[in-house]
Structure 1
Amino acid sequence: MTEHNENMEMDNTITLVDENGEEIEFEVIDMIQVDEEEYAILLPKTKDGVGEEAIILKVGIDDEGEEILYEIEDDDEWEMVANIWQEGLEESEDTQN
């Protein structure tokens, strides 16, 4: 996915442009903070609702001060964020039961 600078706080849906120039709508299902960095957890929207495989993008600020999303290039960073998000989901499920 390429970076995108749409304000995510307007609603829970954003549109990103992939490497082929195709627009894909995503539902923002979670925002998490890890080590002073912010990450967006997104699910692709499908005709039937939303997809099942979440993606994680890092939130940054571009030169104009706008919020952007970009891929996490470091595998260790991605793994750390994915694990923290998964742990949060499991804790949330435990408190609901």
Structure 2
Amino acid sequence: MKIVGVAACTVGIAHTYIAQEKLENAAKKAGHEMKVETQGTIGIENELTQAEIDQADIVILAIDVKISGRERFEGKRVIQVPTEVAVKSPNKLIEKAQEVVAQKV
């Protein structure tokens, strides 16, 4: 499964990058590909390409603030959670993503 995501916390420092790392590690552990874009105090890093978004089975938004470029994900299945969920329960979040993708109609 291919997963893309965005991490952005209110301050745009610690939780943004912790969420990115935890999600990418949990996805890898579950055998999935994941790329997480961060939107923090220094702007957008690890920016997702439109091709990566188009190829993704699901989008995970671990965000506490409004993000720029959200319209890029229109038409995709999206799970949105606070960054705290991505930090504390990344494996459960990846499992939830698998369930959502499995329900494909």
Q: Tell me the TM-score normalised to structure 2 length.
A: 0.26
Report which structure shows greater RCO (CA 8 Å, sep ≥6).
2
Q: Tell me the TM-score normalised to structure 1 length.
A: 0.27
Q: Which one has the bigger helix percentage?
A: 2
**Rg larger for:** 1
